[in-house]
Amino acid sequence: MVADHFSHVRTWVFDLDNTLYPPEAALFAQIEVKMTDWVSRELNVTSEEANRLRHAYWREFGTTLSGMMAKHGTDPLPYLSYVHDIDFSGLSRDAELKAAITALPGRKIVFTNGSAPYAERVLEARGLTGIFNAVYGIEHADFHPKPQAAAFDTVLGRDGIDPQAAAMFEDDPRNLEVPHALGMKTVHVAPLPLDPPAPHIHHHTDDLSAFLRAVTG
């Protein structure tokens, strides 16, 4: 049974984007447009070049912001405020997910490469406000992004999490490599599993609510 694999877990760590809401909500499509615009204006390059850099920095540094900080000295706070100023009307409240997360034993946290204020707005739109013990944005990781080990070390240390008694839920497979190495249970939340499967991913689900109900039996 799935529940047997999680009987030791006392801390449940959830990514935000495309994990606590379905990908078809397309919030990140809005954010990508704003990131490209920011890069274009800050570096005085065309939208095409800005989009190329956005992708390149995401691959190399984990997030576009981290690449902009490393390469161009970008101030992260105005950037985060700008790119997360989007329309949340595509999100709907999810009572089933709220009940499934609430039923988990132990501590529940959100850990996102976005900002904490943005995460709070997403949680509010999804009807998930008040069910998490903490919400950590990239600012709480000293602007180290997942998948960097420093991001996990900082946030897990800040929260006092024992990785051996924790689970991580993520849509980006890259961001599960370090949690797996630390001893966390890893769950890939995405429409399709990786093909071929990856050894750092213990479980896959395309329905987070149903998976969590199975975890709690």
Q: pLDDT digit string (tens) for 44-57?
A: 999 999 999 999 99
Quote the number of domains for the chain: 2
- 57, HSE (Cβ side, Cα atoms, 13 Å): 22
**pLDDT score of 1:** 85
Say if residue 79 is in the same domain as residue 46: yes
Say if residue 123 is in the same domain as residue 46: no
Could you say which DSSP state residue 147 is in? T
Burial (CB count <10 Å: 0-12, 13-18, 19+), residue 57:
buried
Whether a cis peptide bond, with omega within 30° of 0, leads into 105 is no
pLDDT digits (tens, 9 = 90+) for 3-21: 999 999 999 999 999 999 9
Q: How far apart are CA 4 and CA 52, in angstroms?
A: 45
**pLDDT score of 21:** 97
Residue 94 main-chain phi, psi, to 5 deg: -130, 90
Say if residue 43 is in the same domain as residue 75: yes
Q: What is the mean pLDDT of the chain?
A: 96
| Residue 189 in domain | yes
Say if residue 109 is in the same domain as residue 139: yes
**What domain range is 38 assigned to?**
27-83
| Residue 124 in domain | yes
pTM for this model (two decimals): 0.93
Say if residue 70 is in the same domain as residue 161: no
| Residue 39 in domain | yes
Say if residue 99 is in the same domain as residue 114: yes
Say if residue 102 is in the same domain as residue 199: yes
pLDDT digits (tens, 9 = 90+) for 100-155: 999 999 999 999 999 999 999 999 999 999 999 999 999 999 999 999 999 999 99
User: How many residues make up the chain in this entry?
Assistant: 217
Would the pLDDT of 62 be above 90? no
Q: How confident is the model at residue 28 (pLDDT cuts 50, 70, 90)?
A: confident
| Domain CATH number, residue 120 | 3.40.50.1000
Q: Of 83, 108, 128, at which residue does a domain stop?
A: 83
